[in-house]
């Protein structure tokens, strides 16, 4: 087994060794389309959760994990209830200014993982009026045609949850 180590509060994730990965090009393409479909979906949150997330969906976004503590939910239900709670409180569980999740710069698939990479411009705190380039990511594990696990670079910041 290979290993992907994500920084922060995330844990190491066991990945299949490349030699044992048997995903076809068609499956990798379908996995990428699943991620794009999730971000371009234009229905209700309930319909989105039902269509795209596995019942036992695992979330590693620390903001949504904090909301899990308020909602007491788990799996796909946690994603839905967490977003509803965030909306009710007027907070942003993602906080990605300038990023359009339906427009990745790069979309990569390997085995059961899909990574979307995004570019954004942020105000340079040391040079007023100037911008700098920054990159953010989303990673999903796909299982049985559904999104089963998610990681991203979202961090906690003081006072984000009112």
Look up the CATH architecture of domain 22-152: Roll (3.10)
Q: Is pLDDT above 60 for 144? A: yes
Instruction: Say which residue, 21 or 27, is predicted with more confidence.
Output: 27
Q: Is pLDDT above 70 for 112? A: yes
Q: Alpha-carbon distance 119 to 104, whole Å?
A: 8
Q: Please name which of 59, 72, 49, 24 lies closest in space to residue 139, comparing C-alpha atoms.
A: 59
Q: Alpha-carbon distance 83 to 116, whole Å?
A: 21
Q: What is the mean pLDDT of the chain?
A: 85
Q: Which two tokens stand for residue 28?
A: 């990798």
Q: Using the structure block, give the residue that is written with the tokens 């990605």.
A: 96
Q: Is pLDDT above 50 for 97? A: yes
Three-state secondary structure call for residue 65: helix
Q: What residues form DSSP beta bridges with 121? A: 133
- Please give the pLDDT value at position 9: 42
Q: Is pLDDT above 90 for 161? A: no
How many whole angstroms from its chain centre is CA 86? Answer: 16
Q: Using the structure block, give the residue that is written with the tokens 């234009």.
A: 42
- Reported as a pLDDT band with limits 50, 70 and 90, residue 91 is confident
Residue 72: which region, alpha, beta or left (left: phi > 0; alpha: psi -120 to 50)? Answer: left
Q: Is pLDDT above 90 for 156? A: no
Q: Please name which of 94, 89, 101 lies closest in space to residue 79, comparing C-alpha atoms.
A: 94
Q: Is pLDDT above 90 for 3? A: no
Q: Using the structure block, give the residue that is written with the tokens 């570019």.
A: 119
Q: Is pLDDT above 80 for 4? A: no
Q: Alpha-carbon distance 45 to 145, whole Å?
A: 18
């Amino acid at each position: 087994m290979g290993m992907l180590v994500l920084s922060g509060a995330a844990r190491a994730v066991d990945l299949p060794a490349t030699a044992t990965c048997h995903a076809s090009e068609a499956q990798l393409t379908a996995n990428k389309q699943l991620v794009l479909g999730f971000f371009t979906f234009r229905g209700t949150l309930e319909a989105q959760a039902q269509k795209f997330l596995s019942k036992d969906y695992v979330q590693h976004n620390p903001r949504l994990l904090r909301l899990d503590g308020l909602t007491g939910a788990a799996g796909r239900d946690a994603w839905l209830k967490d977003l509803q709670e965030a909306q009710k409180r007027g907070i942003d569980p993602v906080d990605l200014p300038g990023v359009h999740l339906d427009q990745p710069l790069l979309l990569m698939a390997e085995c059961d993982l899909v990574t979307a990479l995004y570019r954004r411009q942020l105000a340079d705190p040391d040079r007023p009026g100037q911008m700098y380039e920054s990159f953010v990511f989303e990673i999903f594990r796909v299982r049985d045609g559904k999104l089963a696990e998610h990681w991203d670079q979202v961090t906690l910041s003081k006072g984000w949850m009112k």
